């Protein structure tokens, strides 16, 4: 069986970065999405194909039950961080399904530029957790997906993450986040024009540098 899930990126209407300090923020979902397709394997290995996650794309395969590390032949911290998001998402799926040795083939497609501040990592994490848990026969609520996705970003970003990006990506629409208080809010459909200069940045590093 194969399972596909998608999740949206986001823009902030108010409170970007301040949300890291527990201040209120209002992000909203955008039309660009990440799609993750997961197929359970008969062994404990993981194969990740991410043709659209960077300019060149990459495919890696490694063992999930050993100290073997992904051999990523792309010399950028962003790709290494991307693999961290994917692996931690799969760990959350294994935990939710009580299948610690589960292996997966994972294909990632994304319309969201990597490292552009549009929530690409949150969208991949949310879609990845949802697809992998459903592939293992477990249905999570959007709130459960958001909670597990936050744990992933918190781990990968060394404790610097807020709940805003992952909650918004899991719930869709507009949300209000203040610390652990997360809720959906009513908002009209709004037209946005987002300028992107093609540059990519490491979100965790930038957040840590702004503290």
Catalytic residue IDs = 165
Choose among 35, 151, 43, 7: nearest CA to 87. 151
**What is the Cα 158 distance to its own chain's centre?**
15
3-state secondary structure of 58: coil
Please state the length of the chain: 211
Q: Cβ distance 108 to 86 under 8 Å?
A: yes
**Beta strands 104-110; 2-14: pairing state:** unpaired
CA dihedral defined by 152, 162, 6, 108, rounded to 10 degrees? Answer: -50
Quickly count: other Cβ atoms within 10 Å of residue 1's Cβ.
9
**Nearest-10 crossing angle of helices 164-171, 142-156:** 150
């Amino acid at each position: 069986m194969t399972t596909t899930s998608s999740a949206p990126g986001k823009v902030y209407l108010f409170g970007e970065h301040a949300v890291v300090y527990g201040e209120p923020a209002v992000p909203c979902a955008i039309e660009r999405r990440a799609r993750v397709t997961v197929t359970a394997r008969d062994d404990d290995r993981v194969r990740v194909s991410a043709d659209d996650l960077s300019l060149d794309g990459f495919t890696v395969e490694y063992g999930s039950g050993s100290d073997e590390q992904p051999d990523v032949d792309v010399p950028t911290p962003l790709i290494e961080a991307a693999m961290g998001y994917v692996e931690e998402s799969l760990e959350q799926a294994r935990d939710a399904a009580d299948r610690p040795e589960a292996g997966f083939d994972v294909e990632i497609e994304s319309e969201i530029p990597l490292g552009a501040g549009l929530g690409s990592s949150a969208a991949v994490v949310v879609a990845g957790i949802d697809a992998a848990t459903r592939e293992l026969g477990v249905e999570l609520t959007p709130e459960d997906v958001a909670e597990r996705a936050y744990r992933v970003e918190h781990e990968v970003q060394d404790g610097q993450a807020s709940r805003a990006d992952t909650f918004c990506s899991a719930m869709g629409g507009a949300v209000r986040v203040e610390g652990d208080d997360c809720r959906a809010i009513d908002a009209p459909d709004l037209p946005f024009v987002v300028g992107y200069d093609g540059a990519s940045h490491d979100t965790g590093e930038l957040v840590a540098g702004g503290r």
